[in-house]
Chains A and B, each alone.
Chain A
């Protein structure tokens, strides 16, 4: 029986606690009384994953068994989540590959010839062949790549289909092949409560024209939080779009959930609670920290990004997207939900080396903002972990470093847009269109491995709710110039940060530290 998540209160016995800060980590002695939110211990994974997959496909929720949906001569499209989930990437074999194999096994038995596999990467960068291969597995890759196993292209006008508008006048436009299929099987990995469900097809296979209806400042400011679908304006929009989609195309979705085994054995201490560290864990910590600090930056990055998580699968559910997603959310809550009593004046976050948009890449300052103020801040139900007007303290070195191939528009966004304003609404009104329609970005998105020109805007919007909610944002150990550009302040230590925050929250603020990774969702009462 794994232990549930809980809130630690730092007392005289509490040893220094682990904090992630980019491609590094360190121990921080938090002030007495600091609340620390720990996620539940990792749940045991399913022993026989293949059997669970077969069971899910043959006895789906709210749908006929998959074999009965397949017939010779049909058009079958299998769409799957791209490399933005899970984080870090999963140790091979990836669960998506195993499911796709099972689906193809059934399709082959039924004599289905016309099968296309599409990575649902929306406006994310295309995946390299190696990255696709890691997700779908060697066998699928060898059989389908490159003609029938492709990245979705949200700028390929000829291959997009406009399916209509929702009652809120939102365009629904997705990949033409998917839209014209007799069946879409969507294979998903659900790491956070925001993904999956209606989002899968409506976002993953959509175009900019369609995405802009929910990826905007207004929607994100009214998604509280976007990890709590019933209270997320964003998810309401997804649901409306799914209703339109349902009129045109049948979707059979397969969703999976993972446990919290985020780091491999040699970094096992990262998965453990600090006061339970053995001598061995401590030695591993010192050795790993030392090696990490001494390693040249390039080597360090390579090692971090080559980390593969030994995730266990906590659930495989298939069938009708709505019903499946309910089960998925329950599984996620089982693994991530931690009850927290009341808000605090200050939230403390350690921003790790990876976020959904820099797998095998560089976590640039905009992604740091997005992960801290977007993702981690929004990992709540009911109320944010920090009170309105409170302060947020983030740990990240924030070097002014961008991946020139993956994030070209980010560089210009940082230099040109953020130097003018950091207000999401102003940015949206003044610059979004220019970037979204920039031919070069479009070209790089379609032909190179670049995120779409508009993507940095979405990153900034993710943080819109937090920017509105927070009174002060202080980055510990961050590059001063970068942080200033983002509109944040910098401190060299936690003590300094608290000192600075005292202007906003007074001399004896309440502190909550969110101990991540692994992921957790705070249920703030």
Chain B
């Protein structure tokens, strides 16, 4: 038997959490939304290994991701409902201990997991995307040996990071070098998304970039941008003081307050600032590439700050937004989801993220871990992470 946090279908909880998070803000809102989330802490039998290639993993740290929070507060899109299977145990940012020998890995090995459940894990014929090496675009996420689920952590058969045990396919697992502590390893998955985002964006050399948002995604995207691209000035829009510091440390040219961003970018890039009758100011002129990393209202800012013909990259789950600038300014909108590796464990987004995480200045990013039993506080903390000076909040399922 293992203890897990289970996400279940509960329309009342769903609506309550959604309402609470929409209507109340501040400390109370976060606490209430955390408590109202359609989660429960229960005992479940150990997950079944769907095949020989699958091994059991005992999670040691499992991060709480922005997409998890969107799900818990009822803000995620219903679009995704066919590609998840209920009830599931959330948690896809995992570092854990492998309990079985699978593939090249031996039991006892510390591993991180690429959560994408692509064709390779499902024992089905490869879809054209997986064949082309784009696992994150896999068409077969609803079929095969395990139930529907775009990732581990959204699938009812695999278990997830927020539980005592999960099962993972050999193709998902990467050995963690001994000198990389868990607190860094748990960041590999989000970092792999950031690497993927930067590659998708294909930022030209010397191009000016603005990263909207300086949470985990924003900061890691900045890190990846400096590592895997050669941009010109990189501006980061950050709400909170500690995010400023971290962004500066990761090499941001300038860190801007959300309210001031438009003016400063106008100064930096030329052009003019326009104030519409309703809605935020925007630039005629602006940066070459804007990367949306808030998983919320940041897309609107990104669309307004990028130059005509520029590129907007969506790294978080989007929210409803006025797309007029996309049309009028002839922008390119690029989506970036998860990571890809073309079947290889030595190259690709995830492997690069793993080696980057080993030496990047990421100390202190995971500064709050909770046992599974503290899930209400954990979710509340994660919802208010920016304000509370945290970047990443994680569960430690090995603690009571």
A: residues with CB less than 8 A from B are 404, 408, 411-412, 415-416, 438-440, 443-444
Interface status of B267 (Cβ within 8 A of chain A): yes
- Measured between C-beta atoms, what is the minimum distance from A410 to chain B in Å? 11
Set of chain B residues within 8 Å of A408, measured between Cβ atoms: 263, 273
Closest chain B residue to A405 by CB distance? B275
Interface status of B344 (Cβ within 8 A of chain A): no
Set of chain A residues within 8 Å of B273, measured between Cβ atoms: 408, 440
Q: Are A415 and B260 interface neighbours, CB within 8 A?
A: yes
Q: Out of B263, B275, B285, name the residue touching A415 (CB < 8 Å).
A: B263
Interface string of B263-283 (1 = CB under 8 A from A): 110110011110100000000
Closest chain A residue to B267 by CB distance? A412
Known: A412-B264, A412-B266, A439-B270. 16 other contacts (CB 8 A): A411-B260, A412-B267, A415-B263, A415-B264, A416-B264, A416-B267, A438-B267, A438-B270, A439-B272, A440-B266, A440-B270, A440-B271, A440-B272, A440-B273, A440-B285, A444-B272
- Measured between C-beta atoms, what is the minimum distance from B271 to chain A in Å? 7
- Measured between C-beta atoms, what is the minimum distance from B276 to chain A in Å? 13
Whole-angstrom CA separation of A420 from B140 in the bound complex: 54
B: residues with CB less than 8 A from A are 260, 263-264, 266-267, 270-273, 275, 285
Nearest 10 pairs between A and B by C-beta?
Answer: A440-B272, A412-B267, A415-B260, A412-B263, A411-B263, A416-B267, A415-B264, A416-B264, A443-B272, A440-B271
Whole-angstrom CA separation of A439 from B271 in the bound complex: 7
Set of chain A residues within 8 Å of B272, measured between Cβ atoms: 439-440, 443-444
Question: What does DSSP make chain A's interface, helix, strand, loop or mixed?
Answer: helix
> Can you list 14 A-B contacts with CB-CB less than 8 angstroms, sorted by A residue number?
A404-B275, A411-B260, A411-B263, A412-B263, A412-B266, A412-B267, A415-B260, A415-B264, A416-B264, A438-B270, A439-B272, A440-B271, A440-B273, A440-B285
Set of chain B residues within 8 Å of A415, measured between Cβ atoms: 260, 263-264
Set of chain B residues within 8 Å of A439, measured between Cβ atoms: 270, 272
Set of chain A residues within 8 Å of B285, measured between Cβ atoms: 440
Whole-angstrom CA separation of A416 from B275 in the bound complex: 20
Most buried by B among A404, A408, A411, A440: A440
Whole-angstrom CA separation of A506 from B285 in the bound complex: 54
Whole-angstrom CA separation of A440 from B285 in the bound complex: 10
Most buried by B among A408, A415, A444: A415
Set of chain A residues within 8 Å of B270, measured between Cβ atoms: 438-440
Set of chain B residues within 8 Å of A416, measured between Cβ atoms: 264, 267
- Measured between C-beta atoms, what is the minimum distance from B210 to chain A in Å? 16
Closest chain A residue to B271 by CB distance? A440
Closest chain B residue to A434 by CB distance? B267
Set of chain A residues within 8 Å of B263, measured between Cβ atoms: 408, 411-412, 415
Set of chain B residues within 8 Å of A440, measured between Cβ atoms: 266, 270-273, 285
- Measured between C-beta atoms, what is the minimum distance from A400 to chain B in Å? 10
Whole-angstrom CA separation of A444 from B273 in the bound complex: 10
Closest chain A residue to B260 by CB distance? A415
Most buried by A among B260, B264, B267, B273: B267
Most buried by A among B263, B266, B285: B263
- Measured between C-beta atoms, what is the minimum distance from A81 to chain B in Å? 30
Whole-angstrom CA separation of A439 from B266 in the bound complex: 11
Closest chain B residue to A444 by CB distance? B272
- Measured between C-beta atoms, what is the minimum distance from A479 to chain B in Å? 15
- Measured between C-beta atoms, what is the minimum distance from A224 to chain B in Å? 34
Whole-angstrom CA separation of A438 from B267 in the bound complex: 8
- Measured between C-beta atoms, what is the minimum distance from B172 to chain A in Å? 46
Set of chain B residues within 8 Å of A438, measured between Cβ atoms: 267, 270
Set of chain B residues within 8 Å of A444, measured between Cβ atoms: 272
Whole-angstrom CA separation of A411 from B264 in the bound complex: 9
Whole-angstrom CA separation of A416 from B255 in the bound complex: 11
Closest chain B residue to A411 by CB distance? B263
- Measured between C-beta atoms, what is the minimum distance from A421 to chain B in Å? 15
Whole-angstrom CA separation of A439 from B285 in the bound complex: 12
Set of chain A residues within 8 Å of B264, measured between Cβ atoms: 412, 415-416
- Measured between C-beta atoms, what is the minimum distance from A223 to chain B in Å? 30
- Measured between C-beta atoms, what is the minimum distance from A439 to chain B in Å? 7
Whole-angstrom CA separation of A413 from B397 in the bound complex: 51
- Measured between C-beta atoms, what is the minimum distance from A427 to chain B in Å? 14
Whole-angstrom CA separation of A404 from B272 in the bound complex: 13
Set of chain B residues within 8 Å of A412, measured between Cβ atoms: 263-264, 266-267
Whole-angstrom CA separation of A439 from B275 in the bound complex: 17
Whole-angstrom CA separation of A415 from B261 in the bound complex: 10
Whole-angstrom CA separation of A411 from B262 in the bound complex: 11
- Measured between C-beta atoms, what is the minimum distance from B240 to chain A in Å? 16
- Measured between C-beta atoms, what is the minimum distance from B285 to chain A in Å? 8
- Measured between C-beta atoms, what is the minimum distance from B144 to chain A in Å? 54
Set of chain A residues within 8 Å of B275, measured between Cβ atoms: 404
- Measured between C-beta atoms, what is the minimum distance from A443 to chain B in Å? 6
Whole-angstrom CA separation of A477 from B92 in the bound complex: 52
Whole-angstrom CA separation of A69 from B119 in the bound complex: 95
Set of chain A residues within 8 Å of B266, measured between Cβ atoms: 412, 440
Closest chain B residue to A440 by CB distance? B272
Set of chain B residues within 8 Å of A411, measured between Cβ atoms: 260, 263
Closest chain B residue to A453 by CB distance? B267
- Measured between C-beta atoms, what is the minimum distance from B233 to chain A in Å? 13
Whole-angstrom CA separation of A411 from B270 in the bound complex: 15
Whole-angstrom CA separation of A443 from B275 in the bound complex: 15
Closest chain B residue to A409 by CB distance? B267
Whole-angstrom CA separation of A300 from B30 in the bound complex: 38
Whole-angstrom CA separation of A415 from B264 in the bound complex: 8
Whole-angstrom CA separation of A199 from B225 in the bound complex: 54
- Measured between C-beta atoms, what is the minimum distance from B394 to chain A in Å? 34
Set of chain A residues within 8 Å of B271, measured between Cβ atoms: 440
- Measured between C-beta atoms, what is the minimum distance from B263 to chain A in Å? 6
Whole-angstrom CA separation of A415 from B254 in the bound complex: 12
- Measured between C-beta atoms, what is the minimum distance from A413 to chain B in Å? 10
Closest chain A residue to B254 by CB distance? A416
- Measured between C-beta atoms, what is the minimum distance from A10 to chain B in Å? 44
- Measured between C-beta atoms, what is the minimum distance from B255 to chain A in Å? 11
Whole-angstrom CA separation of A377 from B260 in the bound complex: 32
- Measured between C-beta atoms, what is the minimum distance from A440 to chain B in Å? 4
Set of chain B residues within 8 Å of A443, measured between Cβ atoms: 272
Closest chain B residue to A431 by CB distance? B267
Whole-angstrom CA separation of A186 from B129 in the bound complex: 78
Whole-angstrom CA separation of A415 from B273 in the bound complex: 16
Closest chain B residue to A413 by CB distance? B267
Whole-angstrom CA separation of A131 from B334 in the bound complex: 50
Set of chain A residues within 8 Å of B260, measured between Cβ atoms: 411, 415
Whole-angstrom CA separation of A111 from B264 in the bound complex: 54
Whole-angstrom CA separation of A90 from B266 in the bound complex: 38
Whole-angstrom CA separation of A438 from B264 in the bound complex: 13
Set of chain B residues within 8 Å of A404, measured between Cβ atoms: 275
Whole-angstrom CA separation of A440 from B273 in the bound complex: 8
Closest chain A residue to B266 by CB distance? A440
Whole-angstrom CA separation of A443 from B264 in the bound complex: 17
Whole-angstrom CA separation of A412 from B273 in the bound complex: 12
Whole-angstrom CA separation of A444 from B267 in the bound complex: 14
Whole-angstrom CA separation of A271 from B285 in the bound complex: 51
Closest chain A residue to B281 by CB distance? A404
Closest chain A residue to B283 by CB distance? A440
